Structure formats: structure tokens, C-alpha cells
Amino acid sequence: MSDIHALSGAYALDALDDLERAGFERHLAICPTCRDEVSSLQEAAALMGESLEMAAPAMLREKVMAEIATFRPLPPVVERPDVDRTVVPLRRRRLPALAAAAAVIAALGVGATVLRPGDEPAPTTISAAARVLDAPDAQKQTFRMNDGARATVVRSVSLKQAVITVEGMADLPEGKVYELWLQHGEEMVAAGFLPSGSDDTVLLTGDAASASAVGITTEPEGGSPEPNLASAVLLPFDEA
């Protein structure tokens, strides 16, 4: 367990740099304790600001009212964080899709383009993940696996990207990794890894807007050209 929790106060005061902020927001997405603490500390921080009352310039009211008239308020976020779905191992009827994916991958020889952990500079990954989590159209779904592990998938159709956060995944034996996939129609396309295994937040590579599901499989280190069906779980996206 890192000391990332200790950043809650600095976060509530906006005293994190951009990178730390993005990292902490990824953590917030999976840590209810920190979310509660941050809310309570934001209340305290606001107390410091509340006493600074100054008459606003008279023109500001007109400007604000004119500006808001040109924007519709955003719809509320319809979250279902606690409506966990039970994920069952991949059903037989998905087999053709996976087989087709394997065939396509083999035909194109794109197995080598699978992104390995560490291939992508961390800052890019973090800010890109934070952008998805912050996106106005972010859709969030939480799934519970049979073994009690949880996975949260956040997708922004406008950004065409998705972020997956997992908690409590079983530790894998030496030489094995969790690999991520995006299902496109009848194809499964490699979409990265969960580098640190059991608890992780990862931006999936590839176009998530047109994908119908995220798959997680257990593969030999380095990834596989085709998903290991016996280990697969499938997390379907809501309709966009």
C-alpha cells in the first residue's frame, strides 16, 4: 500500500501538480475512503475561502447571465457504481468471436504491436486516463467477478477511449500477466495489460467507442496473439 492516501489534503487544496492530480484522481476512482475524506476536507478548505467576500464588479452579473443563456446545463451523471454485475466466465457463444479475433490477428501479424507495460511514457498514460475519467460523457460500470475481484470500466465515446480499474484480482504465478482486449463485432483486439496485476488503472489502447466489451484474460508474460479462452471474462459496455 503506497502513501497515496496522504495526498488527500493537498488534493482538497488543489496543491498537487497536474501529474499528481491525475494520479490521485485515478486513485479516488477506486478508493471510497479517500473520496469521503476529500469531500470532508473540501468542506474545511471552503471555510478558508468563504470569508473573503468582495463585491463583484457590476458588469460580471450581466456577462455571466448572458453567457449561461447560451449553454444548456449538462445532464446529471447517472451512476450505478454499486449495481455490481456478476461476471461469469466467457460463454460458449462468444467463442466464435474470439476465434475470429485470433484469426484476424494472426492474418495481420499484429501480435507484435501489443503494447507492453512501460512502452508508453507514464505521464501520457496518466493524463490520458484522467481525461477519460473527467470526460463529460464518461460512462462508468462496475463489475464483480466470481472470486470477489472488482473491475470498473469508464468509457468516453467522444474520446473513443476507455479506462479500466481493477481491485483485488488474484495474484498470478510468475510468468503470467493479465491481458486486456476490446471486442469489435466478431473480433477481439489486444488492448494492453494490467501491469501490476491485482490493483491497477489502465487506459485501454485502441478505439473503445466502437467496441462492445472489454475482455480480460490470463496470458504468458508478453501477451498472446490470441486470447486464452479458459481464463477470459467479458465486461460488456452499455449501449453508447
Partner 1 sequence: MTDPRPVAGVPQGTPATAPADGQAVLGELLRRSAKGEQEAFAELYDAVSGRVYGLAVRVVRDPAQAEEVAQEAFLEIWRTAGRFDADKGSPMAWILTIVHRKSVDRVRSAEASTRRDTTYHQHNQPVAHDATAEAAHASLEARRVRAALQTLTPVQREALELAYFGGYTHTEVASLLDLPVGTAKTRIRDGLIRLRDTMGVGGR
| Binding residues vs partner 1 (CB under 8 A) | 6-10, 12-17, 20, 36, 39-57, 60-61, 63-65, 67-69, 71-77
Task: Cite the beta strand spans of the chain per DSSP E.
Answer: 85-87, 139-145, 150-156, 161-167, 176-184, 187-193, 200-203, 213-220, 233-236
Pick the closer one to partner 1 by CB: 46 or 108.
46
Pick the closer one to partner 1 by CB: 74 or 230.
74
Pick the closer one to partner 1 by CB: 16 or 100.
16
Main-chain phi, psi angles of 77, to 5 degrees: -75, 120
- The x, y and z cell numbers of residue 169, run together, are 484480482
Pick the closer one to partner 1 by CB: 61 or 116.
61
Burial of 10 (0-12, 13-18, 19+ CB in 10 A): middle
- Given a contact cutoff of 8 angstroms between Cβ atoms, the answer to whether 103 and 179 are in contact is no
